[in-house]
Amino acid sequence: MTVALQVTSTRDALVAEIRQQILSGDLAPGEPLTETGLAVRFGVARPTVRSALQVLVARHLAEQSQGRSLIVPKFDNSDVEDLYYVRIPLEMEAIGTIVDKRIALTAAGDCLARMETMPEDASWADRVEIHTAFHTAVIDAVGSVRLSRIYSSLQDEMQLCLAQLQRWYPNPQDLAREHRLLLDELESGDKDRARAEMRRHLASAVTHFEAER
């Protein structure tokens, strides 16, 4: 007997939609994520919302407020500095390996091509996704399963951080130009130049975030 598999569950679809609204800014940092409110907003049962919220908490896209309810995480400077404290060494190590072994960054180039052709009305959530895909492709190019695994555990928080920097990149091409410069340096064959540009690129995100506070 053939059993038809469900492509996606209602819970997974709800997780994806809430995540998209968080990354786009439609659900702002600090906004409550209540079972009742989300059930009404998306027309689903409260148990489904409860299950979706458990997933979002595990992915660091929802957190406990000082009260009992969950909220969209609101990063402060120390959160971002800590995130990049972990992220920067991973990307610096990856760059060293990429340059030393002359690893082709084909997948990162494909991500950049998509970034460069995004329409002006592309949603911020879509821009956040392709930005993360670019950096993930750089890490994955190294070929270390464990490095990729560690890096992937940071992705949702990376995206949450970038979601709060929307005003610094009003046009999709702003991100594209910045990442074209980065990719050019990564492919230059000069380790010091490549690392310096990556460090500058990552430090600018921290600087922009702190300017928002």
89-133 pLDDT, tens per residue? 999 999 999 999 999 999 999 999 999 999 988 888 888 899 999
Cβ atoms of 179 and 200 within 8 Å: the answer is no
The answer to which of 6-20, 47-61, 151-165, 174-188 has the lowest mean pLDDT is 6-20
Burial 95-131 (b: 16+ CB within 10 A, else e): beebbeeebebeebbebbeebeebeeeebbbbbbbbb
The DSSP symbol for 168 reads G
CA distances from 59 to 7, 133, 153, 202 (A): 21, 17, 8, 22
CATH of 77-212, one of 3.40.228.10, 1.10.645.10, 1.10.287.130, 1.20.120.530: 1.20.120.530
pLDDT(7) > 70: no
Q: List, edge to edge, every strand of the sheet that includes 32-33.
A: 32-33, 70-71, 63-64
Q: What is the mean pLDDT of the chain?
A: 89
**Amino acid identity of 3?**
V
Q: Hunting for tokens 């610096």 — which residue is that?
A: 92
| Statement: residue 5 has pLDDT above 60 | no
Residue 172: the pLDDT is 77
- The confidence score (pLDDT) of residue 2 equals 53
Proportion of the chain above pLDDT 90, given as a percent: 66
pLDDT of residue 75: 87
Report in angstroms the alpha-carbon separations of 127 from 26, 132, 161: 15, 9, 13
The amino acid at 168: W
Question: Looking at the chain, which runs of residues are DSSP E strands?
Answer: 32-33, 63-64, 70-71
Helix axes 191-212, 172-186, angle to 10 degrees: 150
Residues 6+ apart with CB under 8 A from 83: 75, 154, 157, 158, 161
Q: Would the pLDDT of 24 be above 90?
A: no
Looking at the chain, which residues constitute the CATH 1.10.10.10 domain(s)? Answer: 10-71
Q: Is the pLDDT of residue 213 over 80?
A: no
The CATH classification of domain 10-71, taken from the options 3.30.70.20, 1.10.10.10, 1.20.1270.360, 1.10.357.10: 1.10.10.10
Where is pLDDT greater, at 68 or 163? 163
pLDDT digits (tens, 9 = 90+) for 38-78: 999 999 999 999 999 999 999 999 998 877 789 999 888 89
User: According to the model, what pLDDT value does residue 9 have?
Assistant: 86
**Domain ranges in the chain with CATH number 1.20.120.530:** 77-212
pLDDT band at 163 (very low <50, low <70, confident <90, very high): confident
pLDDT-derived band of residue 8, with 50, 70 and 90 as boundaries?
low
